[in-house]
Amino acid sequence: MSLPHAILTALLEKPSSGLELTRRFDRSIGYFWSATHQQIYRELGKLEKTGLIRALPSDVPSRGMRKEYEVLPQGRSELERWVDEAEEPRPTRDPLPLRLRAAGVVGLGGLMAEMHRHRGLHAARLEEYRSIERRDTERRRGTDRERVQRLVLRAGIDLESFWVTWLDEAIGELEGLRGVARGTGLES
């Protein structure tokens, strides 16, 4: 996924200002595709320059005022093209498994504490997703958009469930190894 396409998606859902987009990324899109305030504003400028979006007309001068953007037909066409594009799955690039592999060579050091910390962060995110799922289930209207959003939420729940389960297994196995309790790293 790319940031321009995430922005086009968000703007098609609802025309927004850069600030509103930043807030929406923090509350929803950012769970699976994060972007900083500066990245969003920079991308809005590029999208506007290429004719994929435009600032909505305003009765007041725009200097210093927030602009709201909407997607133009070319932007919608680009998003449709991107949705239809064939793409190979990409490996997850989380450094924790790579750090664990390195620990197999140099010793665990403080990695166990980091694994426990990651487990807590993933468990908290999982609970947050489940809370969103419970809230959305209570006010379910069942529109096509809501059904698609639930599928994305389910992907997040399943991914966080994977991490919690894998970390529980990894921590349990590593804590059972000789040498880990003494902090000397892995022993054969």
Q: Is residue 59 part of a domain?
A: yes
Residue ending a domain, among 84, 111, 131, is 84
Q: Which residue has the tokens 């990409």?
A: 90
Q: Is residue 47 part of a domain?
A: yes
Name the amino acid, one letter, at 82.
Answer: W
Q: Is residue 117 part of a domain?
A: yes
| CATH of residue 48 | 1.10.10.10
Whether residue 77 is found in the same domain as residue 134: no
Q: What pLDDT score was predicted for residue 142?
A: 76
Whether residue 12 is found in the same domain as residue 58: yes
Task: Give the total number of structural domains in the chain.
Answer: 2
Q: Is residue 54 part of a domain?
A: yes
Whether residue 115 is found in the same domain as residue 170: yes
pTM as predicted: 0.76
Provide the pLDDT confidence category of residue 176 given band limits of 50, 70 and 90. Answer: confident
Q: Is residue 184 part of a domain?
A: no
Q: Is there a contact between 114 and 88 (Cβ–Cβ < 8 Å)?
A: no
Q: Where are the beta strands (DSSP E) in 22-167?
A: 53-55, 68-71
Whether residue 115 is found in the same domain as residue 167: yes
Whether residue 77 is found in the same domain as residue 110: no
Residue ending a domain, among 51, 84, 117, is 84
Q: Is there a contact between 16 and 69 (Cβ–Cβ < 8 Å)?
A: yes
Residue ending a domain, among 84, 104, 139, is 84
Percent of the chain predicted with pLDDT > 90:
61
Whether residue 151 is found in the same domain as residue 110: yes
Q: Is there a contact between 126 and 157 (Cβ–Cβ < 8 Å)?
A: yes
Which of 59-68, 133-142, 177-186: highest mean pLDDT? 133-142
Q: What pLDDT score was predicted for residue 127?
A: 96
Cα distances from 173 to residues 23, 116, 170, 183, in angstroms, run: 40, 13, 5, 15
Closest C-alpha to 74, from 11, 14, 16: 11
Q: What is the pLDDT of residues 72-117, one digit of tens each?
A: 999 999 999 999 999 898 887 889 999 999 999 999 999 999 999 9
Closest C-alpha to 120, from 169, 167, 183, 157: 167
Closest C-alpha to 9, from 56, 87, 75, 73: 75
User: By residue range, what is the domain housing residue 77?
Assistant: 3-84
Q: Is residue 151 part of a domain?
A: yes
User: Average pLDDT, whole number, for the chain?
Assistant: 87
The sheet carrying 53-55 orders its strands as 16-17, 68-71, 53-55
Whether residue 80 is found in the same domain as residue 99: no
The pairs formed by 81-84 with CB atoms below 8 angstroms and a separation of 24 or more are: 82/2, 82/5
C-alpha to C-alpha distance for 82 and 2, rounded to whole angstroms: 10
Q: Is residue 12 part of a domain?
A: yes
Residue 15 has pLDDT above 70, yes or no: yes
Task: Write out the H or E segment, with its range, that includes residue 135.
Answer: helix 111-138
Name the amino acid, one letter, at 102.
Answer: A
Residue 188 has pLDDT above 60, yes or no: no
